């Protein structure tokens, strides 16, 4: 008799996008009560339900119930961001003697892949896996040469895998036929209280970073990496997000430089977050060199999400693991170039637990 698999993937229709293409919603479930919902429109994580310290289940990411809401303007809730996450100054870069101009969609600069980035395309469903070890979904997208101004046909896959030790592992792979900049991330906004706290400012966070990427008033890097020590940017010791917020003009929206123990060790610990009302904990690990710590400074109460929650300023925080912004124009930053014949591979892990006393 065939044994039932302990981790499952439920697959259901999730409506149609503007050009009439049907999309789907996938629910990954493990045996500890964690479920992760993902749609192949933008690879959006629409929901992550985890138990709190008393066993009560709640949704810890911002988002909507229906595809119609995701088709309206929103600030990248839960989606895959690419071809280049974060900003490229003036939407320009030069490679192999040729200058490229990208779509400018953030004042004079390029942000999150342009006007139609990877967050607004339908991804092909490549593989759905249910086994004793994981429930997973693999999505694929071919970004054509010239899309949003980028060089080369870029073939991308993104896999989401939920395990029984409560990890959500996101794996990004890509290859190209022309040298291109690449920077892929997931833009989930978290509020680990699952509706209990009115914003994310009491969440206690620790970031494994001694430095952050200094930016100008347009959030474009100056090229300097600045020490966090003795500044309100310092999260090397855990403390509430809001504690020194009044000393950070505009609020946290900065790339932290993740400390790596050795040059050979690619996967590093990024962050530890504790929500005091429900005692949920989230840990983040990644192979990527940076993490954008953004605390929803631009949320303004105009969007109403799942469970009728009004997304006011600072309602959720993001830890967008990625390369540094504007790396194509900053030769001292870790390279974000992908050349033909190379294999791009980055992994980020979100691990969910609760605090026990």
Site residues, ligand GLA (CB under 6 A): 75-76, 86, 111, 219, 253, 292, 294, 298, 318, 320
Question: Least distance (Å) from ligand GLA to the CB of residue 228?
Answer: 18
Q: Are the C-beta atoms of 180 and 343 separated by less than 8 Å?
A: no
Question: Least distance (Å) from ligand GLA to the CB of residue 15?
Answer: 24
Task: Identify which of residues 148 and 320 has a Cβ nearer to ligand GLA in the complex.
Answer: 320
Tell me if the bond preceding 73 is cis, omega within 30° of 0: no
> Using CA atoms, how far apart are residues 193 and 52, in angstroms rounded to an integer?
8
Question: Least distance (Å) from ligand GLA to the CB of residue 263?
Answer: 28
Q: Are the C-beta atoms of 326 and 346 separated by less than 8 Å?
A: no
Q: Tell me which of 187, 203, 254, 274 is the catalytic residue.
A: 187
Question: Least distance (Å) from ligand GLA to the CB of residue 78?
Answer: 12
Task: Identify which of residues 139 and 303 has a Cβ nearer to ligand GLA in the complex.
Answer: 303
Residue 339 is among the residues annotated as catalytic for this protein: no
Nearest CA to 117 among 43, 16, 18?
43
Residue 320 is among the residues annotated as catalytic for this protein: yes
Q: Are the C-beta atoms of 60 and 47 separated by less than 8 Å?
A: no
Residue in the structure block whose two tokens are 């400012």: 201
Q: Which two tokens stand for residue 209?
A: 């970073």
Strands 22-29, 35-39: pairing kind:
antiparallel
Strand, helix or coil at 160?
strand
Task: Identify which of residues 154 and 291 has a Cβ nearer to ligand GLA in the complex.
Answer: 291
Task: Identify which of residues 80 and 318 has a Cβ nearer to ligand GLA in the complex.
Answer: 318
Q: Tell me which of 320, 322, 323, 346 is the catalytic residue.
A: 320
Q: Please identify every residue annotated as catalytic.
A: 187, 320
């Amino acid at each position: 008799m065939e044994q039932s698999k302990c981790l499952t993937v439920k697959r259901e229709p999730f409506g149609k996008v503007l050009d009439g293409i049907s999309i789907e919603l996938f629910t990954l479930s493990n045996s500890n009560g964690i479920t992760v919902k993902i749609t192949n429109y933008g690879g959006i994580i629409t929901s992550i339900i985890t138990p709190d310290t008393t066993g009560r289940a709640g949704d810890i990411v911002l988002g909507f119930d229906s595809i119609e809401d995701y088709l309206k303007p929103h600030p990248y809730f839960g989606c895959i961001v690419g071809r280049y996450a974060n900003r490229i100054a003036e939407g320009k870069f030069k490679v192999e003697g040729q200058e490229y101009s990208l779509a400018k969609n953030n004042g004079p600069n390029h942000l999150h892949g342009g006007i139609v980035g990877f967050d607004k395309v339908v991804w092909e469903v490549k593989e759905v896996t249910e086994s004793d070890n994981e429930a997973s979904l693999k999505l694929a997208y071919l970004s054509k040469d010239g899309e949003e101004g980028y060089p080369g046909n870029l073939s991308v896959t993104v896999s989401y895998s939920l395990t029984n030790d409560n990890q959500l592992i996101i794996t990004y792979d890509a290859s190209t036929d022309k040298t291109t900049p690449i920077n892929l991330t997931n833009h989930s906004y978290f509020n680990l209280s699952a509706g209990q706290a009115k914003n994310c400012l009491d969440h206690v966070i620790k970031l494994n970073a001694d430095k952050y990427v200094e930016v100008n008033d347009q959030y474009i890097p100056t090229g300097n990496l600045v020490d966090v020590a003795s500044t309100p940017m310092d999260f090397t010791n855990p403390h509430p997000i809001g504690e020194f917020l009044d000393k950070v003009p505009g609020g946290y929206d900065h790339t932290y430089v993740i400390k790596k123990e050795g040059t050979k060790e690619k996967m590093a610990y990024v962050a530890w977050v504790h929500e005091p009302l429900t005692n949920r904990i989230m840990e983040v690990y990644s192979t990527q060199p940076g993490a954008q710590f953004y605390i929803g400074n631009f949320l303004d109460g105009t969007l109403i999400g799942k469970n009728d929650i009004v997304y006011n300023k600072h309602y959720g925080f993001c830890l967008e693991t990625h390369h540094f912004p504007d790396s194509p124009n900053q030769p001292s930053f870790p390279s974000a170039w992908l050349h033909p014949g190379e294999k791009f591979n980055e992994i980020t892990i979100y691990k969910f637990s609760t605090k026990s006393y």
